[in-house]
Chain A
Amino acid sequence: MKHDIHLIGLNHKTAAVEIRERFALSDKPDFARTLVDGPVSEAMALSTCNRVEILAVGQEGTDIVGHVLAHWAGVCGQPVDDLRSAVYTHTNLGAVRHIFTVASSLDSMVVGEPQILGQLKDAYRAALAQGTARVIVNRLLHKAFFVAKRVRSETEIASSAVSISYAAVELAKKIFGELSGMRAMLVGAGEMAELAAQNLLNAGIAHITVANRTLARAQELATRFKGTPIAIEEMYDHLPDTDIIISSTGSPTAVIRAKDVREVLRKRRNRSMFFIDIAVPRDIDPDVNQLDNVYLYDIDDLKEVVEENMAQRQGEATRALTIVDAETSGFALWLASLDLHPTIRDLMAQGEDLARRELAKTLRRLGPDTDERVVRCIETLALSVAQKLYHEPICFLKRRAQEEGGAEHFIDLSRRMFNLDSERVPPDAHADRKPKSIDDDNGACASDETED
């Protein structure tokens, strides 16, 4: 039986947030299980804030898209026509390519962001738990995780920061290396400064001091960051012990001046300091950047870093797409191999190849003076053993091919058991048995490659 793979979805590019909200499936965990019925034999649903996508596999030539749309609209209690006008669909290799692109974060709002891969893994786990991921979805998703890994390791798609707060953390790492043991101070309490402070804490910073004109607000933030609240007037007393300063007060004039920082530097024996000025108008005298071992970035500098990084990611995305295309072609070969005849041919060829290799070794051992008749007999023996060894598995496959829907599973199993596609299998190929291992896909060969 031939299958079609369909991908039906809507995302931030094709549907406004109002539409995405109406057709979101995040609160409908059973969607894939209820969809697998009639023409649909396998399914998986991915629902995030930026996209809702349904992967459905079913018998060739049936109206799978219509079935999915009707079911989807029905589950959400919305008119199907509203959904039909907002969705995009991809079929077979188009669907495969799209899944690879999504997994590699090339279709995301922020190209290269890592969350989508985790969300895709969650969706796959849910499909596995509900039993709606079988031969094709299993293989497709494992391949998608592998492609995502390749893209991340072979391109610089995710090597640079694309948010102001994260860019600040990256710069701090370039100055100080490991941030553990470093101390930071939050001067003022702007939203972006809080985000930067949170990112610094996530990066391992040891302590945060919060200085604010209103001590109550400083206390509130310090509690959140498990830091120390101080009044802004005490700031200079604490600066000698501070490595990173994030400033975002509403002051119309500079709060931190170069001459004061020079004195602070003397007290801290010239240890490096990093000032992040997120305020407009700026809180920190620009001359601070002229001092040795002091580095100052204001909001425009950080924005520039982010814009450059975004542009770099777009450039890397082009490289990443060539990987996606190559892997899509590889997957096409596997899909084609799900027919019985190529598998029989490959099995026989493998058997014959094995026999001939062993024959050559034996003949080398026997030496060049071996009688021609003996050589022919050994050759016949080797080829005959190989053919007979594969006879029963081939008969088994032919019998299974007569059964509705049963052949692909056994064909796929045989191809993997005999490694007919000569591929390296990631150790987490069986996430249903080893759910944790989905996260550390490294493409190494696993010897226990079996599936039921």
Chain B
Amino acid sequence: MAFFDLMHWIVFVCYLAGTISVIAGFVGQKPSALRFCALITGLGLFVHTLDLGVWLSGDFKSAPAAFYMSLLSWVVLVVFATLWRLVRVSFLGLAATPLAFLLFSASFAFSGLTVAVPKQYATFFWIVHIGSLYISMGLLAMAFGAGLAFQYMEQAIKSKAKLSGFTHQMPSLNTLDGVNRLASLLGFPLYTMGLLSGFVWSAMARKIVFTGHPREILALAAWLLFAFLFHQRFVQGWQGKKPARLAIWLFVFIVGSMLAVNWLFPMHHSLVDPT
């Protein structure tokens, strides 16, 4: 087995172990499992960073589709780690670790495909378009996890259910709402920047801004939903349940469109071979 493949498998095993231990830690209320999760996922993230570094040091302009999935899973964990530093919500690990594991596992399925980034403006395009979109998706993933937790916790408090065991460990409603607020505040401008950079690149490289491809239409639809969330949150003063619910749907919509539409409608950055 080549060293490169070995790193993949190490990351896979670490994220798998992290996923199992984070579930055992929160659902089974085992603090030792949570400590193990932090350790093993941290190790996985370290190896994953090296793995991506190896990839980036090569010709990323013709990187396999697996690279993009792998990068997204890395971004999800990095965004989680950053949020943890900011608001200390370790509970979001319950969303971040399994999601990172699923995305990384999915990257194995695309290892044979190559996504060719056109040579013109490749570096700039790649950094701005992919970077800002992925970070906003990582933030949305956290808002998705926080939203689900908010719905569950709010329902428990409203219905006067017993707050013990799993619920007892959950952060407060205000903390979960704070994650949604942060994700909206940072995520929407980043998502906007990601889309704009894509259109600008398209205009410069292909002399066309908007092709009418379903991927572009759905990306704009997602942007409108995101804009609605941003507006309601910061202009209309939405808090709590409504933005939580909207963030869940928005994340499902974006991930769904990214996977399904890319699969069904091959294009320049599709996950299936357009040829």
Using a CB–CB cutoff of 8 Å, the interface residues on chain A facing chain B are 156, 159-160, 170-171, 173-177, 269-272, 289, 292-293, 295, 297, 301, 304-305, 308-309, 312
Q: Determine the chain B residues whose CB is within 8 A of the CB of A175 once the complex forms.
A: 157, 172-174
B residues 231-255 with Cβ under 8 Å of A?
237-242
| Assembly CA distance A175 to B174 (angstroms) | 6
Inter-subunit contact A304/B160 (CB<8 Å): yes
Q: Determine the chain B residues whose CB is within 8 A of the CB of A295 once the complex forms.
A: 157-158
Inter-subunit contact A292/B240 (CB<8 Å): yes
Contact A292/B242 with A174-B153, A175-B173 known, Cβ cut-off 8 Å: yes
- 27 of the cross-chain contacts (CB-CB < 8 Å) are A160-B163, A160-B164, A170-B163, A171-B163, A174-B170, A174-B173, A175-B157, A175-B173, A175-B174, A176-B172, A176-B173, A176-B174, A177-B172, A269-B239, A270-B237, A270-B239, A271-B239, A272-B173, A272-B177, A293-B241, A295-B157, A295-B158, A301-B160, A308-B162, A308-B164, A309-B164, A312-B164
B64 at the interface (CB under 8 A from A): no
Q: Give the Cβ gap from A98 to chain B, nearest Cβ, in Å.
A: 29
Q: Determine the chain A residues whose CB is within 8 A of the CB of B237 once the complex forms.
A: 269-270
| Assembly CA distance A301 to B161 (angstroms) | 9
B257 at the interface (CB under 8 A from A): no
| Assembly CA distance A312 to B163 (angstroms) | 11
Q: Taking CB as reference atom, which chain A residue is nearest B153?
A: A174
Contact of B175 among A156, A177, A293 (CB under 8 A): A177
| Assembly CA distance A170 to B172 (angstroms) | 11
Q: Determine the chain B residues whose CB is within 8 A of the CB of A305 once the complex forms.
A: 160, 162-163
Q: Determine the chain B residues whose CB is within 8 A of the CB of A304 once the complex forms.
A: 160
Inter-subunit contact B158/A177 (CB<8 Å): no
Using a CB–CB cutoff of 8 Å, the interface residues on chain B facing chain A are 153, 157-158, 160, 162-164, 168, 170-175, 177, 237-242
Q: Taking CB as reference atom, which chain A residue is nearest B238?
A: A270
Q: Give the Cβ gap from B182 to chain A, nearest Cβ, in Å.
A: 14
Q: Determine the chain B residues whose CB is within 8 A of the CB of A292 once the complex forms.
A: 240-242
| Assembly CA distance A85 to B169 (angstroms) | 47
Q: Taking CB as reference atom, which chain A residue is nearest B243?
A: A270
Extra 19 A-B pairs, beta carbons < 8 Å, given A173-B172, A295-B158:
A159-B164, A160-B163, A171-B157, A171-B163, A174-B172, A175-B172, A176-B173, A176-B174, A177-B174, A272-B173, A272-B174, A272-B240, A289-B158, A292-B242, A293-B240, A297-B160, A304-B160, A305-B163, A312-B164
- Work out how many contacts link A and B, with CB atoms closer than 8 A: 58
Q: Give the Cβ gap from A297 to chain B, nearest Cβ, in Å.
A: 7
| Assembly CA distance A177 to B237 (angstroms) | 20
| Assembly CA distance A170 to B164 (angstroms) | 11
| Assembly CA distance A175 to B238 (angstroms) | 16
Q: Determine the chain B residues whose CB is within 8 A of the CB of A177 once the complex forms.
A: 171-172, 174-175
Q: Determine the chain A residues whose CB is within 8 A of the CB of B172 once the complex forms.
A: 173-177
Q: Determine the chain B residues whose CB is within 8 A of the CB of A312 once the complex forms.
A: 164
Q: Determine the chain B residues whose CB is within 8 A of the CB of A293 once the complex forms.
A: 239-241
Highest count of chain A CB atoms <10 Å: which of B170, B174, B237, B241: B174
| Assembly CA distance A271 to B233 (angstroms) | 12
A-B pairs, top 8 by smallest CB distance, nearest first, are A269-B237, A177-B172, A293-B240, A270-B239, A301-B160, A177-B175, A177-B174, A308-B162
Q: Give the Cβ gap from B29 to chain A, nearest Cβ, in Å.
A: 8
| Assembly CA distance A176 to B239 (angstroms) | 13
Q: Taking CB as reference atom, which chain B residue is nearest A289?
A: B158
Contact of B163 among A174, A270, A271 (CB under 8 A): A174
Q: Determine the chain B residues whose CB is within 8 A of the CB of A174 once the complex forms.
A: 153, 157, 163, 170, 172-173
| Assembly CA distance A170 to B163 (angstroms) | 10
Q: Give the Cβ gap from B184 to chain A, nearest Cβ, in Å.
A: 14
| Assembly CA distance A156 to B169 (angstroms) | 12
| Assembly CA distance A159 to B163 (angstroms) | 11
Q: Determine the chain A residues whose CB is within 8 A of the CB of B153 once the complex forms.
A: 174
Q: Give the Cβ gap from A245 to chain B, nearest Cβ, in Å.
A: 16
| Assembly CA distance A295 to B153 (angstroms) | 12
Q: Give the Cβ gap from A342 to chain B, nearest Cβ, in Å.
A: 35
Q: Determine the chain B residues whose CB is within 8 A of the CB of A271 once the complex forms.
A: 239
| Assembly CA distance A188 to B162 (angstroms) | 28
| Assembly CA distance A271 to B160 (angstroms) | 20
Q: Determine the chain A residues whose CB is within 8 A of the CB of B238 once the complex forms.
A: 270
Q: Give the Cβ gap from A311 to chain B, nearest Cβ, in Å.
A: 10
Inter-subunit contact A272/B158 (CB<8 Å): no
Q: Determine the chain B residues whose CB is within 8 A of the CB of A308 once the complex forms.
A: 162, 164
Highest count of chain B CB atoms <10 Å: which of A171, A292, A308: A292
